[in-house]
């Protein structure tokens, strides 16, 4: 019988792992205690901690359809449209609580995608992948593991298919098949939360043909598996967290999700952890299902973060004495409108979710892509409005060290002053938070996370039902008969 970890237990579980992680040329000894990673770890810890808060239990936990036990929703397989709605409500809650990326959604989406597609592979080909995956999923649920959904390959020359690359390792591939398992080689880029995950769950990144059979591989390995190497990426103003608290903007939860380059340097995977191996005709289906789940999320988590940015903007206006101005109210209202538009899209694609042959539910693919395409645009506008409301100090504010300086600190305090009774430190903290949320890594992640805009446009065009729309126009224009109108006589 499993149990839900809390935040402190999650930190302790990371200390028991020994992943190979490098940052700026040095190996990180303890992910849980490394200052550069600590904010990201704490953001992920919130997904564990809130599961024990009675106020959020309905959103943060679920009942496993496999075991009947209470589990963290980040390990749950969606059993209804209501589950899909609770998923995005959970995302918004965590965005509001952290003001950052809490990282577990990629793994959740990978688990749900594999549950659906391994069932479909087995039904068509008579393989045994679904049973293997279900046994693995029980372990994830029982131990409350955080999974890194590892999808995006480094890709090399984008004009070439995987098997055509000059270096065949630019997409993750099988290099050896053995009696007891397979050996894989390659790399995955932009791996959110991977350094502080327990498991890596690997999926293909694109549709594949027969020549790319070795690249049609899905599997899981422990994050500290031999040969698995991660290089933690740089982020905007990341080393500020070494200089103090205020200049970080969001010192407790960081900037975006803490991404790594994940390198599989001949990693062995036992067969019980292999969920696709050569079935190239299902790679595109697996990618599409994953993309639907992951794009569904963005109107949840990003609007949660937007709630924090809107609040910071409103406070700065209040502290500056301009809260009642009509232009301020108009800009804040527009920020709310933009964020809630994205939220509506996430709710819509969730409510219109449908049951797949596996029994698990999938969000509406067309509307999920509309969610993500909006997120590639609207956060740029609400961030622009936040910068407009904040003013120039959002990029020119003095540092925390100057605020604390015995020589100039009092002068900095004097000239940061706004409304009477508001400490200058509060002003500086809010400016740094607005900087973090509107100028940091949030916006590139809005653009490229879960696929760049063209990827969404391709799916939207395919699923737009254009021929049906043409038929509607023909009937209304009188180019074709209207059987219902004819019945009116």
Q: What's the rounded Cα separation, in Å, for the pair 378 and 446?
A: 9
Taking the alpha carbons of 271, 142, 262, 101 in that order, is the dihedral positive or negative?
A: positive
User: Which residues are designated catalytic?
Assistant: 101, 105, 192, 259, 294, 298, 301, 445
Dihedral sign for Cα atoms in the order 433, 434, 436, 437: positive
What pLDDT does 205 receive?
97
Fold of 286-468: Butyryl-CoA Dehydrogenase, subunit A; domain 3 (1.20.140)
pLDDT at 257: 83
Helix (H) or strand (E) run with residue 49 in it = helix 38-49
Q: What residue spans in the chain does CATH classification 1.20.140.10 cover? A: 286-468
pLDDT recorded at residue 256: 83
CA–CA separation, 79 and 372 (whole Å): 23
Q: CATH for 7-281?
A: 2.40.110.10
Query: Which pTM value belongs to this model?
Result: 0.95
456's enclosing H/E stretch is: helix 453-462
Give the per-residue pLDDT at 1: 60
Span(s) in the chain for CATH 2.40.110.10: 7-281
Coil, helix or strand at residue 235: coil
Predicted local distance difference test score (pLDDT) of residue 363: 98
**Which pLDDT belongs to residue 88?**
98
Q: pLDDT 10s digit of each residue in the chain, 489 long? A: 678 999 999 999 999 999 999 999 999 999 999 999 999 999 999 999 999 999 999 999 999 999 999 999 999 999 999 999 999 999 999 999 999 999 999 999 999 999 999 999 999 999 999 999 999 999 999 999 999 999 999 999 999 999 999 999 999 999 999 999 999 999 999 999 999 999 999 999 999 999 999 999 999 999 999 999 999 999 888 889 888 899 999 999 998 889 999 999 999 999 999 999 999 999 999 999 999 999 999 999 999 999 999 999 999 999 999 999 999 999 999 999 999 999 999 999 999 999 999 999 999 999 999 999 999 999 999 999 999 999 999 999 999 999 999 999 999 999 999 999 999 999 999 999 999 999 877 888 899 888 889 999 999 999 999 999 999 999 999 999 999 888 897
The closest of 450, 19, 448, 22 to 233, measured between CA atoms, is: 22
* Contact indicator for 255, 433 with CB cutoff of 8 Å: no
Q: What gap in Å lies between CA 449 and CA 443, rounded to an integer?
A: 10
pLDDT given for residue 334 in this prediction: 98
SS3 157: coil
């Amino acid at each position: 019988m499993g149990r839900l970890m809390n935040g402190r237990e999650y930190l302790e579980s990371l200390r028991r792992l020994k992943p190979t992680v490098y940052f700026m040329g040095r190996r990180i000894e303890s992910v849980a205690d490394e200052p550069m990673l600590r904010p990201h770890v704490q953001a992920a810890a919130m997904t564990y901690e809130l599961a024990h808060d009675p106020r959020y239990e309905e959103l943060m936990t679920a009942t496993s359809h496999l075991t009947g036990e209470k589990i963290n929703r980040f390990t749950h397989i969606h059993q209804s449209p209501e589950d899909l709605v609770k998923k995005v409500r959970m995302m918004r809650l965590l965005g509001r609580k952290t003001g950052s990326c809490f990282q577990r959604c990629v793994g959740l989406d990978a688990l749900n995608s594999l549950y659906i597609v391994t069932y479909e592979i087995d039904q068509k080909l008579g393989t045994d992948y679904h049973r293997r995956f279900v046994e693995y999923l029980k372990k994830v649920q029982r131990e409350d593991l955080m999974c890194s959904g590892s999808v995006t390959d480094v890709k090399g020359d984008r004009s070439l298919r995987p098997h055509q690359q000059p270096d065949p390792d630019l997409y993750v591939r099988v290099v050896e098949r053995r009696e007891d398992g397979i050996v894989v080689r390659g790399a995955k880029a932009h791996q959110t939360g991977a350094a502080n995950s327990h498991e890596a769950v690997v999926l293909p990144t694109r549709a594949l043909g027969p020549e790319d059979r070795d690249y049609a591989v899905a599997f899981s390995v422990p994050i500290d598996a031999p040969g698995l190497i991660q290089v933690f990426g740089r982020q905007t103003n990341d080393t500020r967290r070494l200089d103090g608290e205020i200049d970080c903007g969001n010192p407790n939860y960081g900037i975006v999700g803490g991404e790594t380059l994940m390198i599989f340097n001949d990693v062995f995977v036992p067969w019980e952890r292999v969920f696709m191996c050569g079935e190239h005709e299902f790679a595109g289906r697996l990618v599409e299902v994953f993309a639907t789940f992951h794009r569904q999320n963005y109107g949840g988590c990003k609007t949660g973060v937007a709630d924090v940015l809107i609040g910071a903007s409103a406070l700065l206006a209040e502290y500056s004495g301009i809260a009642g101005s009509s232009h301020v109210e108009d800009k804040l209202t527009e920020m709310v409108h933009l964020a809630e538009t994205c939220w509506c899209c996430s709710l819509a694609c969730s409510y219109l979710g449908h049951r797949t042959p596996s029994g698990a539910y999938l969000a509406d693919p067309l509307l999920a892509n509309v969610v993500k395409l909006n997120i590639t645009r609207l956060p740029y506008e609400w961030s622009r409005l936040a910068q407009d409301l904040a003013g120039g100090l959002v990029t020119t504010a003095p540092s925390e060290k100057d605020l604390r300086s015995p020589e100039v600190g009092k002068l900095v305090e004097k000239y940061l002053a706004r409304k009477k009774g508001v400490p200058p430190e509060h002003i500086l903290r809010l400016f740094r938070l607005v900087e973090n949320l509107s100028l940091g890594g949030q916006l590139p992640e809005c653009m490229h996370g879960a696929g760049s805009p063209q990827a969404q446009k391709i799916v939207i065009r395919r699923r737009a039902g254009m021929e049906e729309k043409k038929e509607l126009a023909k009937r209304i224009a009188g180019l074709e008969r209207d059987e219902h109108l004819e019945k009116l006589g």
